[in-house]
Amino acid sequence: MGSDPKSVTRLLLDWRAGDSQALDELVPAVYACLHEMAGRCLRSERPGSTLSATALVHEAYLRLIDADVEWNDRVHFYAVSARVMRRILIDHAKERNRLKRGGGNARITLGDPAVLDMAAPEKLLELDAALQRLAARDRRKSEILELLFFGGLTYEEVGQAVGVSKASVDRELRLAKAWLHRELA
């Protein structure tokens, strides 16, 4: 994740303490990284889509600014941002699916989630449903998948966000991907 970790963490803590000036400094400090995250989320979006990386960042910003979150540090902020972006993408896919696709869901296989075909909202909705089922069985595995694939966090950052080692992230990810592959096959 970009930007100076200590600076972002300090700004988050100051903002949490009620310093509105900290928020004014925080936004430019994290904008480029959030835009990069949004770009990764939308990498396979169809041309001419109504949802751009900038629009995704702005929508996420609006939701984050109103969120009642006790920010711990920079990694926590980016983890929550990834979850918010995922939720926005799911909401957008549901709307497109409802309006254009008639609500039918097709099965997908899980390759590289970073290149998930965002032009097919039913695939994203199916992935979201599978992640929700995984969360009901094993919340941590679901969180790890979400942070890696939607948030673009590194294994170390994911480990820090969920409170496990990098090796545990790798092990949990292998099991989660196998479970997801079985669910979506």
**For residue 107, what pLDDT is reported?**
43
pLDDT of 136 over the 90 cut: yes
Tokens of residue 155, six digits? 């294994």
Q: Which residue has the higher pLDDT, 94 or 33?
A: 33
pLDDT of 105 over the 50 cut: no
**For residue 152, what pLDDT is reported?**
81
Q: What is the mean pLDDT of residues 32-40?
A: 89
d(CA 127, CA 3): 31
Collapsed DSSP state (helix, strand, coil) of residue 151: coil
Within 8 A by CB and 6+ apart from 166, the residues are: 155, 156, 159
pLDDT of 133 over the 90 cut: yes
**For residue 154, what pLDDT is reported?**
87
Whether the predicted model's global pTM rises above the 0.85 cut: no
**For residue 140, what pLDDT is reported?**
93
| Residue located via tokens 């032009």 | 119
Please write the tens of the pLDDT for every residue from 43-100: 766 665 678 888 899 999 989 988 888 888 889 999 999 899 988 988 887 877 775 5
d(CA 177, CA 91): 23
Q: What pLDDT band is residue 185 in, cutting at 50, 70 and 90?
A: confident
Please write the tens of the pLDDT for every residue from 146-157: 888 888 888 998
Please write the tens of the pLDDT for every residue from 18-32: 888 998 899 998 998
Helix segments in the chain, DSSP class H: 5-16, 20-41, 53-66, 74-96, 121-137, 139-149, 155-162, 166-184
For the chain, the straight-line distance linking the first and the last C-alpha, in angstroms and rounded, comes to 33
**For residue 16, what pLDDT is reported?**
85
Q: What is the mean pLDDT of residues 120-136?
A: 84
